[in-house]
Homo-oligomer: A and B are copies of this chain.
Amino acid sequence: MARKVSRRGGNIVTIHDVARHVGVSPMTVSRVINGEKNVREETRQKVMEAVEALNYTPNLAARSLASQDSSRIALIYSNPSMSFLSELLLGILEQSSQSGCQLTIESCDGPEGVADVLDKLKATGVDGVVLPPPLSDSSRVAKALKDMKLPFVGVATSRPSPDAPSVSVDDFKAAFAMTSRLIQLGHRRIGFIKGNPNSYYSQLRYEGYVAALAKAGLMAEETLVGQGYFTYRSGFDAAETLLVRADRPTAVFASNDDMAAGAVATAHRLGLDVPRDVTIVGFDDTSMASSVWPELTTVRQPISDMAALALKLLLDQIKTRRAGQTYAPVHEIRDFSIVERQSSAPLGEASTTE
């Protein structure tokens, strides 16, 4: 009978095998694996070697059962840009497989739809929730979660809930930096495409743009600002209004990549070359930014990393709570960077790229 045949195709290597191999108790092996302090250095070495030699990997199921530590985490998203979502997913998955937690994903229609999802999750049993924008910005959602006493974490939130941890980028500063860069390239008439007005981070990006203009002694002309909703289509439409004018801007800063990609499409349709006739830049650096042509100059937000970290913080929070301690929410700010690609150029300079 092949009962002891492992799921890895060989024989199962358990903590007992390692223990026997080294000549210690399973307990000691457990301690080494979990990086606990009270183990003699020499013993630790030997155990490590045995783990290596036997190619041992802990059984996650056993571990979480024994430690009562298994967590079911739900990622609730609402109509974000798909490219944003994929980056996020990649990061979350990485982390969840490392942490050995069970991941569920649920979609809903905006903050209003969250209640239903929450009911469902309550029935199924979830230990924590990861909230990407725009949900992460909704105080309403935060309140609902708080009422349920369900731990959660916000990713890419500009207005983190005081009760929950969050991971984000300084949207104001990033937009300020990007706008400054455009000014440095010689642009003076710089358009802006806003994101969804309900999102606070959308607001912050706009304010960063205005502040950078002001610092350079420029005015934010209302006619150079278009209203978008973070979708390709909205960028496409908003850009049209900005670009058909005779005194069109020489650069357009769309506040996410999807809208920037839409703006590029519009520019092309209007017979404008990017970046020769108009510079167009985005925000996020999702896959969209480098799949479009010309590839977008954009503000890079390390979405995957941020998502991974967010999940980690959530798990910490859950652990702390289980231990009966109170959890002090951490608000992590990640660095952004400006990635220059082919969609931007100094003012008046002919496109020479390739």
Chain A residues within CB distance 8 Å of chain B = 1-2, 5-9, 55, 57, 59-62, 64-65, 68, 70-72, 81-83, 85-86, 89-90, 93-94, 96-97, 100, 102-105, 123-127, 148-150, 231-233, 236, 258, 262, 264-266, 268-269, 271, 286-288, 291-293, 318, 322, 324
- Chain B positions within 8 Å of A89 at CB level: 86, 89-90, 93
Query: Are B125 and A292 interface neighbours, CB within 8 A?
Result: no
A228 CB to closest chain B CB (Å) equals: 13
> Which residues of chain B have C-beta atoms less than 8 A from A322's C-beta?
2, 5, 7
The one of B9, B149, B291 that contacts A231, using a Cβ cutoff of 8 Å: B291
* A-B contacts, 24 listed (Cβ < 8 Å): A5-B322, A7-B68, A8-B125, A55-B123, A55-B125, A59-B70, A61-B65, A65-B65, A82-B83, A82-B286, A86-B86, A86-B89, A89-B90, A93-B93, A94-B105, A97-B104, A100-B102, A232-B293, A233-B291, A233-B293, A258-B291, A265-B268, A268-B269, A271-B271
Q: List chain B residues, Cβ under 8 A from A292.
A: 232, 265
How many copies make up the complex? 2
- Cα A8 to Cα B100 with chains together (Å): 17
Contact of A126 among B2, B8, B96 (CB under 8 A): B8
Contact A9 B71 (CB under 8 A): no
**Inter-chain contact A7/B127, CB cutoff 8 Å:** yes
Q: Assess whether A127 is in contact with B233, with CB atoms less than 8 Å apart.
A: no
* Minimum Cβ distance to chain B for residue A322 (Å): 7
Residue of B nearest to A150 (CB): B9
A100 shortest CB reach to chain B, Å: 7
Q: How far is the CA of A268 from the CA of B71 in the complex (A)?
A: 50
Known: A90-B105, A94-B105, A324-B2. Contact between A7 and B61, CB under 8 A?
Answer: no
CB contact between A86 and one of B2, B5, B85, B97 (< 8 Å): that residue: B85
**Closest residue to A77 on the B side, CB-wise?**
B90
Find chain B residues with CB under 8 A from A125 CB. 6-8, 55, 57
For residue A318, which residue of chain B has the nearest CB? Answer: B7
Contact partners of A71 in chain B: CB under 8 A: 7
Residues of B within 8 A of A9 (CB): 148-150
Q: What CA separation (Å) do A265 and B267 show in the bound complex?
A: 10
| Least Cβ–Cβ distance between A294 and chain B, in angstroms | 9
Contact A102 B93 (CB under 8 A): no
A139–B246 CA distance with the chains assembled, in angstroms: 57
Give complex CA distance A103, B92 in Å: 11
A258 and B292 CA atoms in complex are apart in Å by: 9
Contacts of A59 in B (CB 8 A): 65, 70
B265 near A232 (CB under 8 angstroms)?
no
Which chain B residues lie closer than 8 Å to A94 at the CB level? 105
Find out whether the CB atom of A93 lies under 8 angstroms from the CB atom of B72.
no
Supply 20 further A-B pairs (C-beta < 8 A) apart from A83-B83, A265-B268, A268-B269: A7-B71, A7-B127, A8-B125, A9-B150, A57-B124, A59-B65, A60-B61, A60-B70, A61-B65, A61-B70, A82-B83, A82-B287, A83-B86, A86-B89, A90-B105, A93-B103, A232-B293, A264-B265, A265-B265, A265-B293
